[in-house]
Amino acid sequence: MLTLLKLLKDGRFHSGEALGAALGVSRSAVWKQLQHLEAELNLPIHKVRGRGYQLASPLVFLNAEDIALKAPSLAWPVHISDSIDSTNAEALRLVDAGCAAPFLVLAEQQSAGRGRRGRKWVSPFAQNVYYSLVLRIEGGLRQLEGLSLVVGLAVMQALRESGVQGAALKWPNDVLVGQKKIAGILLELVGDPADICHVVLGIGINVNMQKVAAIDQQWTSVQLETGSPVDRNLLVARLGLQLQRYLERHAASGFAALQEEWEQNHLWQGRAVSLIAGVNQVDGVVLGVDRQGALRLSVDGVEKIYSGGELSLRLRDDS
């Protein structure tokens, strides 16, 4: 099916006869493959008698050489899959297989994309960026302090470079435009964080997605915000360069050097919020983050600090 899709990727009409000849199959076999493409990849295909078949919009596939040309200073090996369970899972498998970090895993589609707190990350084919960068961390826990917030800054800046000027941060791991989610971050760690470990920086960005029914929260995409389709290879290159810049600053000076910049770009700074931890809820006002990236809340006039992977932050109705 993917061979057929690559023949159609230019967005032009192709006759069933020409497609069949290129694939070495009958026109009826082409028709069956097209039905599978629409059903499995959720890609609308126009069918016009006398003209043939056309994708509703052209596709540009992820390409390691193109990414390298756009970001020549990045030396990370790039692994690209057409479809895998999740880029984070593949990254962890490559670590187990002895693949030397740093390296980058990308996919056109995820069958089991993951967000924080076990949520599913909806991953349609060739529309978004599913990105996992693996780093080898030496020197103990300080190298991990505030790391997910640092990644958020890099994602935000790459989105602004791509025309999404309203991109901003929500503690701990989201990038929003207004109240709509455009990107999420999921960090996973293997090894001994007090000695030598590997951390996977998992990033999902809604890029050219325009319609999907399976997302249970407000969302947007780069194309919806800018009005134009986006070259995902260019966005991946921009993201890599921003990550390189922010990770170098973080390694040299810790999160404390980026704390003020992060707070300046936090959408909910000073807002009344509810912090959810399982069945427990804490109401307060966001003061900012501390030097390790933990959330600072004013609760009944007293400053309290919260951190942890299972926390969820929501705006209060009276905010």
Annotated binding site: 86-88, 110, 114-116, 181
Taking the C-alpha atoms of residue 190 and residue 210, their distance in angstroms, rounded to an integer, is: 35
Taking the C-alpha atoms of residue 19 and residue 25, their distance in angstroms, rounded to an integer, is: 8
The residue annotated as part of the active site, out of 170, 181, 232, 238, is 181
93 flagged as catalytic = no
Give residue 261's identity as a one-letter amino acid code: E
211 flagged as catalytic = no
The residue annotated as part of the active site, out of 93, 291, 314, 316, is 314
249 flagged as catalytic = no
Tell me the binding residues for biotin.
86-88, 110, 114-116, 181
The residue annotated as part of the active site, out of 116, 170, 232, 238, is 116
b/e string for 132-160 if b means 16 or more Cβ within 10 A? bbbbebeeeeebbbbbbbbbbbbbbbbbb
Q: Counting beta carbons within 10 angstroms of the beta carbon of residue 193, is it exposed (0 to 12), middle (13 to 18) or buried (19 or more)?
A: middle
Helix intervals (H) in the chain? 2-8, 16-23, 27-41, 64-70, 87-96, 147-161, 222-226, 232-253, 259-264
Residues catalogued as catalytic = 116, 181, 314
